[in-house]
Amino acid sequence: MTKGRMDTLGCPEEEPPGGFCSPSPRREPHCKPETHMDVQGFRWVRWRVWLCHIGSVLSLGLLLVLFRWRPRLGVLARCNSCPLAFANILLLRDSFGQQYVVEVLTEELEEGSLESAGSEAEDSSDWRDTVQLHKEEVPLLHYYLFEGLRYVWMARKGAFCRVSVLNEDWTCADIYRFREGLSRLEQNTRRKIYGTNLIDVPVKSFMRLLIEEVLNPFYVFQVFSIALWLTDSYYYYAACIVIISLISICVSLYEIRKQSNTIRSMAQQITNVTVRRSSGEEDSLSSVELVPGDCVLIPQEGLLLPCDAALLAGECMVNESMLTGESVPVMKTPLPAAGGRYSPETQRRHTLFCGTQCIQAKGGRPGRGGAIAVVTSTGFFTAKGDLVSSILYPQPINFRFYQDAIKFLLFLGGVALCGTVYSIVILSRTNTTWWELVIRALDIVTIVVPPALPAAITTGTIYAQSRLKREGVFCISPPRINISGKVSLFCFDKTGTLTEEGLDVWGVMEGSGAGFSELVPDPRLLPQGPMLSAMACCHSVALLGGQPLGDPLELKMIESTGWLEEPAGDDKTLDSEFGGHRVLAVMRPPACPLQSESVSIHEAVALVQRFPFSSSLQRMSVVTVNPEGQSSLAFIKGAPEMVASLCLRESVPAQFSNTLRTFASDGFRVLALGYKTLYGQTDLSTIERGEVERDMQFLGLLVMKNLVKPESAEVITTLRLAHLRTVMVTGDNVLTAVNVARTCGMLGSNERVIFVHATPQTAQSLPSLRFHLGEGGTEDTATQSSIDMYTQGLYQGVINYHLAINGKSFSALCDHFPEYLPKVLMRGTVYARMAPEQKTQLVTELQKLNYRVGMCGDGANDCGALRAADVGVSLSEAEASVASPFTSKSDNISCVPLLIREGRCSLVTSFSLFKYMALYSLIQFSSVLILYTEKTNLGDLQFLFFDMVLVTLLAIVMGKGGPSTELHPQRPPASLLALPVLASLTLHTLLLILGQVSALLITTSQDWFVPLNSTMSGAANLPNLEDTSVFDLSGYQYIIMAVVVTKGYPYKRPLYYNVVFVCVLLVLFALMSWLVLAPVPFLRKLLKLYYIPDMNFKILLVALAALNFVFCFLLEMLIDRGMLNCLRLLRGRRQSKKQYKRLDVLLSDSPSWPPLDQPLVPSQCTVIGLS
Q: Of 772, 839, 833, give the one whose Cα is nearest residue 808.
A: 833
CA distance 454 to 345: 40
- Are the beta carbons of 674 and 702 closer than 8 angstroms? no
CA dist list (Å): 896 to 133, 866, 892, 902, 1046: 65, 13, 9, 10, 25
CA distance 764 to 815: 18
CA distance 339 to 310: 12
CA distance 474 to 468: 7
- Are the beta carbons of 295 and 179 closer than 8 angstroms? yes
CA distance 814 to 834: 13
853 forms bridges with which residues in the sheet?
A: 489
CA distance 900 to 488: 10
CA distance 77 to 1152: 64
Based on the residue annotation, tell me whether 815 is a catalytic residue of this protein.
Answer: no
Q: Of 142, 266, 143, 268, give the one whose Cα is nearest residue 197.
A: 268
Kindly state the DSSP code that residue 947 receives in the 8-state scheme: I
CA distance 422 to 283: 79
Please report the DSSP string for 982-1012 in residue order.
HHHHHHHHHHHHHHHHHHHHHHHTSTT----
CA distance 1112 to 1117: 9
End-to-end CA distance of the chain: 39
Q: In this structure, are strands 828-832 and 725-729 parallel, antiparallel, or unpaired? A: parallel
CA dist list (Å): 989 to 237, 526, 674, 908: 25, 82, 77, 21
Please give the order of strands across the beta sheet that includes 619-625. Answer: 515-516, 504-512, 697-705, 668-678, 632-638, 619-625, 605-614, 585-588, 564-566
- Are the beta carbons of 1064 and 959 closer than 8 angstroms? no
CA distance 279 to 296: 15
Judged by DSSP in three states, 861 sits in helix
Choose, from 94, 493, 551, 862, the residue flagged as catalytic.
Answer: 493
Phi–psi pair at 530, nearest 5 degrees: -65, -25
Q: How many residues does the chain have?
A: 1171
Q: Secondary structure of the chain: what % helix, strand, coil (to 5)? A: 45, 20, 35
Please report the DSSP string for 1035-1073 in residue order.
HHHHHHHHHHH---TTTB--GGG-HHHHHHHHHHHHHHH
Judged by DSSP in three states, 780 sits in helix
CA distance 740 to 742: 5
Residue 169 burial (CB count, 10 A): 11
Alpha helix (H) residue ranges in 1078-1094 = 1081-1086
- Residues annotated catalytic, as ranges: 493
